[in-house]
Amino acid sequence: MNPEVIGNDVPHSGHAAILVADDEEIVRYVVERALVADGHEVITAESGDHALAICKARTSPVHLAVIDVAMPGMNGFELFDCLHALWPKVRALFMTGYSAEEAFEKAGIIW
């Protein structure tokens, strides 16, 4: 096994295509800067709908999606479902500034 790869062919260090979807510009900026510094290709989007549109236009897969749970419109879980339909091997890291209970409530999920 290639030591640069973990699990489903997701590059471990550098060279992964990573989507960062968050409605807060400063969060997108900070996460993007850290990932670019590690050598990754980073795609940013301010909403689930925007992220999905960008991803549908791509010719290559996204390996990892860093997604805000509670965004206006499409929530993070709905976005991941759409991304998973495009690329079954995509992985997600969900993030939120809310408590777990608040985040699920904002995403419309009964906790």
**In the predicted structure, residue 11 carries a pLDDT above the cut 70:** no
Alpha helices in the chain (DSSP H): 25-37, 48-57, 76-86, 100-106
Task: Supply 65's token pair.
Answer: 């999606």
Q: Please report, for the chain, the start and end positions of each structural domain, with discontinuous segments joined by +.
A: 15-106
Split at pLDDT 50, 70, 90, the class of 110 is low
pTM value > 0.85: no
pLDDT number for residue 8: 52
pLDDT number for residue 101: 80
For the segment(s) 15-106, the CATH number from 3.40.309.10, 3.40.50.2300, 3.20.20.80, 3.30.470.10 is: 3.40.50.2300
Burial 75-104 (b: 16+ CB within 10 A, else e): bbbbbbeebeeebeebbbebbbeeeeeebb
pLDDT tens for each residue of 59-75:
999 999 999 998 889 99
Split at pLDDT 50, 70, 90, the class of 6 is very low
